[in-house]
Amino acid sequence: DQQVKQNSPSLSVQEGRISILNCDYTNSMFDYFLWYKKYPAEGPTFLISISSIKDKNEDGRFTVFLNKSAKHLSLHIVPSQPGDSAVYFCAASARGGAQKLVFGQGTRLTINP
């Protein structure tokens, strides 16, 4: 059973516009959420995170929004740049245990010049 879902396999956005990537989760025990970016043939790199006590976290061009009642989070990138073209994974973990991360399937973002 997929506990973290990214329902859009791909997204294409024009340079300078906003990119919005979405993620849904089913496990109500998740209390920490992360976004990772991955280029081909490289490991994922951490982008931004949010704790369940918040509903928004910003870091430069990247903002993550969390809607706990809907079990939904989104990543906004504005303005989008060509270097943002990559696969984006959302991940979640539950407090306690080894805080293993559960990942979504990923969304391939392409920024067009």
Q: Does 66 bind other proteins (CB under 8 A)?
A: no
Nearer to other proteins, 14 or 26 (CB): 26
Q: Does 44 bind other proteins (CB under 8 A)?
A: yes
Q: Does 60 bind other proteins (CB under 8 A)?
A: no
The CB density around residue 38, as the number of other CB atoms within 10 Å, is 16
Could you tell me the smallest distance in angstroms from the CB atom of residue 15 to other proteins?
Answer: 26
Q: How many helices (H) and strands (E) does the chain have?
A: 0, 11
Q: How far is CA 86 from CA 5, 28, 66, 73, in A?
A: 18, 29, 22, 19
Residue 84 main-chain phi, psi, to 5 deg: -80, -10
Could you tell me the smallest distance in angstroms from the CB atom of residue 13 to other proteins?
Answer: 21
Q: Does 62 bind other proteins (CB under 8 A)?
A: no
The CB density around residue 57, as the number of other CB atoms within 10 Å, is 15
Q: Does 100 bind other proteins (CB under 8 A)?
A: yes
Could you tell me the smallest distance in angstroms from the CB atom of residue 86 to other proteins?
Answer: 13
Q: Does 110 bind other proteins (CB under 8 A)?
A: no
